[in-house]
Structure 1
């Protein structure tokens, strides 16, 4: 089994890779930082292993041509991709009027186009084989607008439409399309994000404690095993996912009435 994980050098992506490594899967980890990728590869090796079926590739998921070439090379070495977990993402909180166009574009490019680029690289091969599973990692922030997160919310919410449309196209092909909406998760990225998170956002998001990355990864892999098309985490995110049209007006009402 060949599993490709974008954003596989840390956080949720690395923990997903760890679970598949324990199953003996051939792994391709894709991220931007070569040093972090090599550290992740060493972290995943079992005691005594010098070499294992773990390939690391430093590339930007936002660059379609480079990512496509990297995945093609990985499939040459490890065989067709059986499972893609598109977990690469970036977040830079800031109110819209202070958010530069380049920073806005970076989040959309990585979080939305980066997922589409990864899917584009494996989807035709999966269809040709008549099997495969794709898990798109969105965010709880993709279900509701959050103060200071215009770019992030826009990019993550767009993934829902992409996943739904692709699932319609993939119907009957043997390729399963799924999307998940993780909560705040203990990762290096969250540590950086919290330093910039506006208090107005923390008043809403901070009501729930972050999840350990291992727990999020465990639920993602279980959902892939079961063919679950949508995966929500926790009471709040599940409520938004299932009853958003009812819940969001209440959240907005509460937010506007809360003391400054």
Structure 2
């Protein structure tokens, strides 16, 4: 069953820039009413102008509402959602997008980095879902969408803090998907590839050399293109794993999908992918290990004293 986005109230966390803002623009084009939540009031004001211009350009009747809140604070999220509901009405679609990445070597990052990643990328999602969940269940309708990451499908040097938080989001989404069965609420998850965003620019400035070398084969995608794929997947109505523009990543996601719903018409192709994927994984894992090994003496120089 396809989902008509026109008139739907969509709430997007981290909606003032990057993928979140690109998603908001796509929903505006579709005629949805959009609430964007972000910590930065100045960025929210700029995003509101962009979305209102998009509404005019596409002759959309979308109502745009902005609300500052820090998703790591449950009370702030609840108040932001309450304000949005008072302004527009019940939340029909929730996009849990707020998050950030701080790459670095495990031995150089303090525990506070791991705590911050989990507070923002994982608990921020839990807080946001908590703010809408009971109402969606009571109304027996709604859609919760988790924006995870490629790093919830694999892990390598530099992402021990970030990948762990995004794997947590994936686990949460899979559990919640099963838990809402029997209700009219749906759950989806997206695994965006490297995407051209302000956050990605910041991330690139602090990436360890191994992280950059492993990633350099994949060209980052425009946020607008990533957002279009996600919204198209939501419109399809029944997809748990949402599509993305990176063909190789889509193949990898299909090969590592786990125990989640599958399209019966894609079972045979996915079985064939399952036969081929271990070979690809073997060579890619070897490639990653080769890069990590090449830089080991420099990476561990504080532990290893040359003789």
Q: Same fold (TM over 0.5)?
A: yes
Provide the C-alpha distance between the structure 2 equivalents of 1:214 and 1:255, rounded to a whole number of angstroms: 29
2:23 paired residue number: 16
Question: What's the C-alpha RMSD, in Å, of the aligned pairs?
Answer: 1.9
2:160 paired residue number: 150
1:252 paired residue number: 285
> Which of structures 1 and 2 has the bigger CA Rg?
2
Moved more, 20-29 or 78-87: 20-29
Q: CA deviation at 1:242?
A: 2.3
Provide the C-alpha distance between the structure 2 equivalents of 1:52 and 1:170, rounded to a whole number of angstroms: 29
Change beyond 3 A, Cα 1:24–1:238: closer
Paired residues of 2:36 and 2:66 also in contact (CA < 8 A): yes
- Report the 3-state secondary structure (helix = DSSP H, G, I; strand = E; otherwise coil) of the residue aligned with 1:230: coil
Out of 101, 107, 115, which is 1:97 matched to?
107
Paired residues of 1:232 and 1:241 also in contact (CA < 8 A): no
Paired residues of 2:17 and 2:47 also in contact (CA < 8 A): yes
Provide the C-alpha distance between the structure 2 equivalents of 1:222 and 1:111, rounded to a whole number of angstroms: 24
Match status 1:222 vs 2:232: yes
Paired residues of 1:8 and 1:31 also in contact (CA < 8 A): yes
1:35 paired residue number: 42
Paired residues of 1:144 and 1:240 also in contact (CA < 8 A): no
Q: How many residues align?
A: 259
1:225-245 deviation per Cα after TM superposition (whole angstroms, max 9, x unaligned): 112110243233223322248
Q: Unaligned regions of 5+ residues in structure 2, if any? A: 1-7, 257-276, 295-307
Q: Unaligned regions of 5+ residues in structure 1, if any? A: none
1:78-104 deviation per Cα after TM superposition (whole angstroms, max 9, x unaligned): 110001111111111111111122222
1:240 paired residue number: 252
2:9 paired residue number: 2
Q: CA deviation at 1:209?
A: 0.2
TM-score, length-scaled by structure 2: 0.80
TM-score, length-scaled by structure 1: 0.94
Provide the C-alpha distance between the structure 2 equivalents of 1:254 and 1:77, rounded to a whole number of angstroms: 52
2:72 paired residue number: 62
Segments of 4+ moved more than 4 angstroms = none
